[in-house]
Structure formats: C-alpha cells, structure tokens
C-alpha cells in the first residue's frame, strides 16, 4: 500500500514538473517574441506637438510616441516641441522645436547590419547620434539646401533657418561635409572634427570659397547647445542600456512613459504655416531655340533650364534643373521627342506619323514640389515644332 502511494506521488510529481517545464518554455518563447528588434524608424514625442504630413501638405496628422515614421513624409515639430526618432541600430535623430525634416531613406539589414539613413533638413535643427556604422555600405546623411553632411559614427548638429547662416557643429568624432551648388555636389569633402563648427550661406557656397577656410572653434552659444545634447544622449544611453539596441521592449518602455500624453489628432494644413515664409513665388523654364522659324530639326538637342524665382529679389534665382520633373507633352498625338532629368531635349518624331506629316508639335512642362511649404510649382514652354528637314541633321547633332 505504501509503495503504491509512493508510486502515485512520483507520477504526479513527474507530471507537474513536465507541465511546468513546458509552461516555462512557452513563457520564455513569448517573452523572446516581445523583444524582437524594431526594423523601421519610430518616434518619441518628448514634448507636444509633433505632426506628420504628406508631400503636398494637404493632410496633417499629429504623431504620438511609438508611431512609425515612413520614408517621404514630412515631420514637423512645432514651437515648444521636441522629438526623438529611433533607428533600427539604436541611432537617434533628435528634432528641435520649429523644425521640419523629410526622411529620404531609412533601411536596415539585420543580417549584414547595414544601415542607410538620409535626412533632408527643410528648416530648424537636427541632432544626430550615430552608432558606429559597421559595414562599408552603411551611411548616415543630413542634407540642407546648400550642403550635405555624411558620417559613419559620431554626434553632431545641423541647423538651417531663413535669413541665417546654416551651421554644422560636431560633438563627437568627425563629420564629412560637402557644399551643394544648384543641388549638385561641388568641391571636395572635408572633415570637421570634434568641438569645431562651420557657418555658411548660399552666397558663400556660390562664391566658391573653400570649406577649409570656414572651419573654426565652436562659439560659446554653440558649445552650450552641444553640451546639452550630449547630456541628453547620456540619459538616452542609460535607457537603452538594459535593452538589445532598438528593441520592441525598449519601444514599449518609452511608450509607457508617455502613455498619458493627449494629442489634438489632426489639423487643417491646406494653408502654409505662418512659421515658414514662402521662399519662392514661381517656376520659369529657360531655353534658346536658334533655328529659323522656331522649327526644330529631328535629332537636334536643346538644353532647358528650370529656375525658381525668389520672393526676395535681392537673392538670385535658384536653378532646379536637375530637381524638377520634366515631361514632353504632345499637341497632335505625335511624339516630338524625349527629355532627360538634366533638361536635355532630343527632337524625335514617330516614324509612321512623320511620314505623313513631316512635323509634330508639343511643349515641355516642369514641376517642382517645395518641401518647406508643400506648394507645387509648374511651368511650360510655348509650342515647339519638330520637323524633318530636307537635309537630315546627323544623329546626335547639337544646336
């Protein structure tokens, strides 16, 4: 009888231990599933309000902590606000008040650990704290209208405000900077080291002054800003320290901290923000047609330019030839040619149509989206006539 009771006891104990082991494994699996790495950027709204809008500015929605932020959307931190954007490797972009940015690229390969981040600063100030980018394909880039800063592992700020010089200031490591002239890189890249800064304007960039002559020690106000940012980084590093990089567990912890934040929801953004004065008033297309009677022979090349006319007449127009969307429009359902991204038009006619008519008419259009205001600028040429001359122009001839 005693042996039978002992056997039953042992059996029950084995069953309890077995089920307990299974339960523990299931619990462990569930816990592990909740701390998967987050592979898309997400935002922490430190101080309200922060908005996201589509490219044309027709819709605007207030963001809350934990929301993912997609490539191409405009993120705007209003006056008095502040936000952190967390990237998959744990790197952070901190957005100051009165700032607008667009994330042009944000990808992460968890296998190769390759991170590619490209941020366009439209107005305001951004602080970047980047982990060491471990692969050659990794990059972190912050771009303004006049320069692009590229790094592999550092901490720095970029600022751009209307009527003021743009600024790059480095808190850790070094930052490679290159000027942009009419949207294209110009001159050599140089490295701005820790505790150094550079101030520049569009006028300075267009003048061709070497970047090296502009690098200087940080002034007192800039140094104070940098020190505050580094202190904030220390706080964030402590928060992230107990987690595996930018994990879902870490995001849940941050969301919990802001659980009582109340948001407005959305606001009507069909009008331009009063905080940002529109820089441009219209788009113009320039070109020179040297042919008699304005008739363009097939195989001819014509270079078109697109210029944004500024509201401030004391500053020269901005060339956006390589930034606009070019289109060739037809007037008679006869293709008159093609145009490249750089504005080079090649006169062509459809074989079937050209045999019957010997000519075709159409025009060139250009459109450009202003990322600062969401405005869309459009322009078009007068009617262009493409003809087959009596003596054909050789392929690739230039006007």
pLDDT tens digits for 165-185?
999 999 999 999 999 987 788
β-strand pairing of 74-77 with 50-53: antiparallel
Mean pLDDT of 315-333: 84
Q: Give the per-residue pLDDT at 190.
A: 93
How confident is residue 29, by pLDDT bands cut at 50, 70 and 90?
A: very low
Q: Give the per-residue pLDDT at 88.
A: 84
Q: Give the per-residue pLDDT at 245.
A: 59
Quick: pLDDT tens for 66-97: 998 878 878 999 888 999 999 888 889 999 99
Quick: pLDDT tens for 158-169: 999 988 999 999
- Which tokens is 171 given? 């808190």
pTM for the model stands at 0.60
Mean pLDDT of 110-136: 87
Mean pLDDT of 314-333: 83
Sorted by where each starts, the structural domains of the chain and their CATH numbers stand as 42-267 (2.60.120.1440), 280-387 (2.60.40)
């Amino acid at each position: 009888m005693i042996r039978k009771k002992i056997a039953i006891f042992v059996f029950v104990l084995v069953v309890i231990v077995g089920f307990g082991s299974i339960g523990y494994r299931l619990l462990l699996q569930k816990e592990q599933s909740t701390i998967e790495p987050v592979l898309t950027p997400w935002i922490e709204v430190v101080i309200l309000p922060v908005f996201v809008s589509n490219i044309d500015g027709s819709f605007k929605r207030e963001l809350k902590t934990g929301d993912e932020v997609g490539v191409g959307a405009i993120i705007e931190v209003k006056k008095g606000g502040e936000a952190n954007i967390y990237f998959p490797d744990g790197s952070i972009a901190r957005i100051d008040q009165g700032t607008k940015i667009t994330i042009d690229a944000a990808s992460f390969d968890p296998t190769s650990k390759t991170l590619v981040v490209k941020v366009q600063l439209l107005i305001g100030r951004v602080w970047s704290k980047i982990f060491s980018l471990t692969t050659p394909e990794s990059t972190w880039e912050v771009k303004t209208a006049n320069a692009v800063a590229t790094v592999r592992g550092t901490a720095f700020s970029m600022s751009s405000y209307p009527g003021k010089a743009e600024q790059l200031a480095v808190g850790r490591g070094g930052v490679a900077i290159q000027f942009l002239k009419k949207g294209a890189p110009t001159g050599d890249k140089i490295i701005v080291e820790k505790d150094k800064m550079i101030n520049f304007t569009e006028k300075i960039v267009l003048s061709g002054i070497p970047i090296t002559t502009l690098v200087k020690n940080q002034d007192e106000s800039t140094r104070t800003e940098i020190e505050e940012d580094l202190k904030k980084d220390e706080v964030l590093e402590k928060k992230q320290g107990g987690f595996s990089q930018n994990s879902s567990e870490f995001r849940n912890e941050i969301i919990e901290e802001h659980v009582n934040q109340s948001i407005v929801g959305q606001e009507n953004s069909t009008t331009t923000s009063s905080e940002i004065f529109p820089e441009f008033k219209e788009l113009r297309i320039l070109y020179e047609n040297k042919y008699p009677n304005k008739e363009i022979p097939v195989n001819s090349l014509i270079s078109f330019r697109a210029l944004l006319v500024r509201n401030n007449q004391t500053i020269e127009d901005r060339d956006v030839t390589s930034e606009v969307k070019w289109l060739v429009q037809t007037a008679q359902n006869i293709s008159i040619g093609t145009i490249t991204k750089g504005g080079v038009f090649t006169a062509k006619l459809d074989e079937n149509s050209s045999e019957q008519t010997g000519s075709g008419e159409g025009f060139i259009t250009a459109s450009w989206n202003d990322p600062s205001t969401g405005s869309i600028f459009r322009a078009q040429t007068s009617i262009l006539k493409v003809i087959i001359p009596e003596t054909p122009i050789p392929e690739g001839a230039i006007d």
